[in-house]
Structure 1
Amino acid sequence: MITMSDITKSYRGRPADNPVLSHLNAVFDGSEDIGILGGNGSGKSTLIRLLAGMDYPDSGEIIRSPDMRVSYPLSYSGFFHPHMSGRDNVRFIARLYGADENECIRFVREFAEIGRSFDQPLSFCSSSVKSRIAFAMSLAIRFDIYLVDEVSAVGDVAFKRRCMAAFAERRKHAKIIMVSQAVTTIRRMCTRGAVIVDGQLSWHETMADAINEFENQLGIIHV
């Protein structure tokens, strides 16, 4: 379970009286696939970073159950050290999560299909290579909840299909918290939804109801 209590988050350059998230309260118990909709700048990515522990609120408290393993955002490569190789980055992340280092290295090396680039410093690698490693690393560790900031996979069509198939396999034994503007994707993947409105979460019992609110905000009229 992840509990967010009275969370407020602002960033430099944004008016103090208009925080990204404002006194937000939410409980994610890991029993449903949650989809959160919001427009550009609404706070979707901020929410995911807070849930992952990659960022901290200005005020409030986030409590994560010790028996629930929560992922970092799917395919996110921002935590990689650029002067370390892909192999060493995978080894380091595996240690952080208490996962088997050798098994993670084997999985990522085989899944990413990047050959010798796996042992080069990431600063020498293309964004595509780094994204392949990041996506593979997201799948190498078994999580109870996967955090998803949109759904993206790089590479050719065959590789993208393999990524989505592997992620679907992981989801048989886990739940997701997904933030997105992609209504079609979030409708397909999530069962309960919310919309970020003025720094708060507006909850709905069904994903369809959340989508209706989101589309009403955007002024989308169905005929």
Structure 2
Amino acid sequence: MILLSHVWKTHKSRGVQKCVARDLCFRFPTGQAMALLGRNGAGKSSLLQLISGISRPDQGRILRRGSVSWPVGFQGSFHPDLSGLENARFVARVYGVDTDEMTRFVADFTNLGAHFHLPVRSYSAGMRARLGFAISMAVPFDTYLIDEVTSVGDAAFRRKSEAILRDRLTRASAIVVSHSTDLLARLCTSGAVLENGRLFYYARVARAIEHHDHLMRGQLPPWLR
């Protein structure tokens, strides 16, 4: 269970303030995948960081019951001077996962080869994203926070990523951010659109995608006009 209670969050970048959360009160659905949509810059990734605890709200509370992943696709927690292998072992120890099982799974899934034994600072952005995705999938979280990571790599890797994510979602909840509405339609049951610090929730993901499509055309959906 993840509950936002009167959450406010404002970012300031280059002298411009952006409100990510405006007195948000929302309970995320449990036992399903929910799509999180919004324009570029709406604050979707920032909201995931709030939910995970990476950043803190300016006001309000975020209540979590059960284990919540870091935003998959965010690699800020990796130590750049440690190898992928060493980072995987460290995460395994923190979350109480068998280190040998973790490293075997990550090595096989990422297909990084010799790079798995090199410092993460030498990785490309795509390699770091693959490492982060694989490590997160090796930990049995109650809720996964997914941020665009299934778009990384070639078609074969994307298919493999979606397949394992589907498997994890048979036992866990998820909040999924992606520019691919086709992917969201395949993975998610419900959806919410983040706009001007507010969340518009829909029990059917198709309705959330429809709202989002109207925003991309510079329009409000008919039911909000």
TM value normalised by structure 2: 0.87
Q: 154-163 vs 93-102, which deviates more?
A: 154-163
TM alignment of 1:1-223, pairs within 5 A: 1-13=1-13, 15=16, 18-65=18-65, 68-219=66-217
Partner SS for 2:70: coil
* Equivalent AA in structure 1 for residue 159 of structure 2: R
Distance in 1 between residues matched to 2:182 and 2:107, nearest whole Å = 32
Post-superposition offset of 1:200 = 1.0
Q: For residues 128 and 197 of structure 1, do their structure 2 counterparts lie closer, same or farther at Cα, with a shift above 3 Å needed?
A: closer
Q: Please tell me whether the aligned partners of residues 150 and 161 of structure 2 are also in contact (alpha carbons under 8 angstroms).
A: no
Q: Please tell me whether the aligned partners of residues 22 and 199 of structure 1 are also in contact (alpha carbons under 8 angstroms).
A: yes
Distance in 1 between residues matched to 2:184 and 2:163, nearest whole Å = 17
Partner SS for 1:110: helix
Distance in 2 between residues matched to 1:181 and 1:126, nearest whole Å = 21
Post-superposition offset of 1:40 = 0.9
**Cα RMSD after superposing both structures:** 2.1
Percent identity reads 38
Q: Please tell me whether the aligned partners of residues 37 and 179 of structure 1 are also in contact (alpha carbons under 8 angstroms).
A: yes
Q: 119-128 vs 196-205, which deviates more?
A: 119-128
Distance in 2 between residues matched to 1:220 and 1:185, nearest whole Å = 23
Q: Please tell me whether the aligned partners of residues 166 and 187 of structure 2 are also in contact (alpha carbons under 8 angstroms).
A: no
Q: Please tell me whether the aligned partners of residues 76 and 135 of structure 1 are also in contact (alpha carbons under 8 angstroms).
A: no
Distance in 1 between residues matched to 2:208 and 2:165, nearest whole Å = 24
Q: For residues 57 and 136 of structure 1, do their structure 2 counterparts lie closer, same or farther at Cα, with a shift above 3 Å needed?
A: same
Runs of 4 or more consecutive aligned structure 1 residues displaced over 4 Å after TM superposition: none
Higher strand share goes to which structure? 2
Structure 2 unaligned blocks of 5 or more: 220-225
Residue deviations 1:190-215 (CA, integer Å, cap 9, x gap):
11121112201112222222222222
* Equivalent AA in structure 1 for residue 4 of structure 2: M
Q: For residues 75 and 149 of structure 1, do their structure 2 counterparts lie closer, same or farther at Cα, with a shift above 3 Å needed?
A: closer
Distance in 2 between residues matched to 1:83 and 1:107, nearest whole Å = 22
Post-superposition offset of 1:15 = 4.6
Q: Please tell me whether the aligned partners of residues 144 and 175 of structure 2 are also in contact (alpha carbons under 8 angstroms).
A: yes
Q: For residues 218 and 115 of structure 1, do their structure 2 counterparts lie closer, same or farther at Cα, with a shift above 3 Å needed?
A: closer
Partner SS for 1:152: helix
Residue deviations 1:23-64 (CA, integer Å, cap 9, x gap):
111112423321121001111111111111111111111111
Structure 1 unaligned blocks of 5 or more: none
Partner SS for 2:36: strand
